[in-house]
Every structure is written in C-alpha cells, then in structure tokens.
Copies of this chain bind each other. A is one copy, B any other.
C-alpha cells in the first residue's frame, strides 16, 4: 500500500500548501480520497496517471475537501476518458455536479456513477476480490465519513518442505492454499495447517478527516496498519476544536492508541501554526509511531 499526500492543510489553498487530497495505491487500484482545489495539478506534479483513477471517495462537502472535483471530472472529459468513474460522497454532490454540467452544457463522455452516502453506520461501499472499503462515520459540522481501506486476507502459503515430505500431488496445491485438507499420494488425509503457513496479515488504512474527538470510531479502525487522523489544532487550542468539531494532535494520538494502529499520520493543520513539528511532539506524548503528513510526501505500509 502506498499513500501519496497531495494536500493536507485545512481551509484554503495557498502558494505552498494544498487542501485535503490523497491517493492510495492498493492492490493495483488508485483510490483518490478527497479532492480539494488544485488536486488535478498535484496529481500531475506527483506523476499519478489520471486514467488509473476509477474510484473517488469524498468525506464531506466542505470546500477544502471537494472543490477540485468538478474540475477533475471536467478534465477527464477533455482527456477523452472512456472508463467509468465511481464517486462515493454524501448525498447532494450528484445534484451539484449535474447542475454544473448542465450550466456548462458539457456532459461527460464516460459513465459517472454516484454512490450517495447517507448512513450513520459504517457500511461496505466497495468490494472486489482483493479489497474492501468501509465508511467510518465521523462527527463533524456536516455529514461526514472517513474511509477504511482493507486488503482481503490472501491465500495460505505452502510450507514446501512439509508439502514434499508428505508427498502431496501438485494438483492439490491450490486447495491447500485455500485452506482445505487434502489426501496425499498414499491416500492419507493431510491436515492443512501441518503443510501451510498463515498468509501475510492483510493491511488496512483508515482515513479520518474531518472529525471531533470521537471514540466511536475506535472499534471500526481497530488494528489498522495506518491511520490518517485530522489534527487541526494543538492541545492549547482545544477550546477551538470543540465548537468547530475538529481534533487536536493529542486527541488524534489518543484515538490511535485506543485503536492500536500501526502508525498515526497527522494532517489538516490549521493555517495558524508555523511550526508543524509541535503536532508531532504533542502526539508522541500519547502514541509513539507518529508521522506528519506533508504535501507530496509518500507513505508505504
């Protein structure tokens, strides 16, 4: 899994900082998560191929999370895209995009499929044979979801020494990988676990922005390989976090700790702070494995 941060700052696009957008490469997918103004330029800057994006996930309809979307949809059209595009977003976005296309009298030549989200429960919104995506209901000023991207468990791994020792025919290898017991060449039933090993632990990535401190999401993201959690404020401004339904770095770390995630990535910094290292220092007082998101930075996990 590779995560590229296209933008990780709150509120407004500036000369050197972009609003929220990131790309997750997982099992040959290129998932775009949020799409602030300027996202298409950042995709170019990071040499991410436009036509590999087939699924876009929008957390909520505040501008710094989606004002780049209609431009991207429009650019796809100009690039004569034919592949269908799926957009997972709060209800309302379809009406908006449709109105914009109507006013421009410019309709996409590719299929644009909206998956409008309305549920307040975590739900499965995408699935193929290798990946699942779930919503993570968040607590913000408007209807907002985070997203949990999960690899499905892979096949069991053959312990080749044991397999050869037990004299199992090659025709049964696939059944073994799928977890079945099989008979060997002597007709003896071989227990699967004696000749295979557990598959690599499936990885998962949780994106949680924007949200107030919200322990309800801990059970959904439990054990995620990595968690991106917004930290708009430092602890000294906690009184601003509450009414605006944002989090502090300390609160983000507390969620990471309770959810026992592998790594915490902080982002969505308020423009009031010059020194972002304070976010990392503060979070590390609660949870050890913390990294700061930065526009253009990539994370592998």
A18-47 contacts to B (CB < 8 Å): 37-38, 40-41, 44-45
A62 at interface, CB cutoff 8 A: yes
Q: Is A14 part of the binding interface, using a Cβ–Cβ cutoff of 8 Å?
A: yes
Counting CB contacts under 8 A, is A136 at the interface?
A: no
Measured in the bound complex, the distance between the Cα atoms of B100 and A95 in whole Å is: 10
Q: Is A142 an interface residue (CB 8 A)?
A: yes
Q: Is A74 an interface residue (CB 8 A)?
A: yes
Q: Is B62's CB under 8 angstroms from A104's CB?
A: yes
Residue interface mask A89-118, B partner, CB < 8 A = 1 = 010110110011001111000000000000
Count of chain A residues with a beta carbon within 8 Å of a chain B beta carbon:
34
Q: Which of A65-73, A168-176, A185-193, A199-207 contacts B (4 or more CB under 8 A)?
A: A65-73
The reply to whether A95 and B99 contact each other, CB–CB distance below 8 Å, is yes
Contacts of A68 in B (CB 8 A): 37
* Cβ contacts under 8 Å, A12 to chain B: 40, 71, 74-75, 78
- CA of A12 to CA of B61 in the docked complex: distance in angstroms? 23
Interface: A296 (CB within 8 A): no
Question: How far is the CB of A241 from the nearest CB of chain B, in Å?
Answer: 17
Interchain CA distance A105-B74 in the complex, whole Å: 25
Q: Which residue of B lies closest to A95 (CB)?
A: B99
Task: Report which of B13, B37, B61, B78 forms a contact with A103, defined as CB distance below 8 A.
Answer: B61
The answer to whether A63 touches B67, judged by C-beta atoms less than 8 angstroms apart, is: no
Does A45 lie within 8 Å of B103, measured CB to CB?
Answer: no
Query: How distant is the Cα of A63 from the Cα of B101 in the complex, in angstroms?
Result: 9
Q: Is the CB of B14 within 8 A of A41?
A: yes
Whether, in the assembled complex, A292 has its beta carbon less than 8 Å from a beta carbon of chain B, the answer is: no
Complex Cα–Cα for A103 and B94 (A): 11
Does A11 sit at the interface, judged by CB under 8 A? yes
Which of B37, B74, B103 contacts A142 (CB under 8 A)?
B103
Q: How far is the CA of A63 from the CA of B76 in the complex (A)?
A: 13
Tell me, yes or no, whether A130 is within 8 Å of chain B by CB. no
Asked if B63 and A71 sit within 8 Å, CB to CB, the answer is yes
- Collect the chain B residues with CB atoms within 8 Å of residue A142's CB: 103-105
Does A52 count as interface, using CB distance less than 8 angstroms? no
Interface centre among A45, A61, A92, A100 (most CB of B within 10 A): A100
Given contacts A14-B41, A67-B74, A96-B96, 14 further A-B contacts (CB under 8 A): A12-B74, A12-B75, A13-B38, A13-B40, A13-B41, A15-B45, A38-B41, A61-B104, A63-B71, A63-B104, A67-B71, A90-B103, A96-B100, A103-B142
User: 11 A-B pairs, CB-CB below 8 angstroms?
Assistant: A13-B38, A13-B41, A14-B44, A61-B100, A62-B104, A63-B100, A96-B99, A96-B103, A103-B142, A105-B141, A105-B142
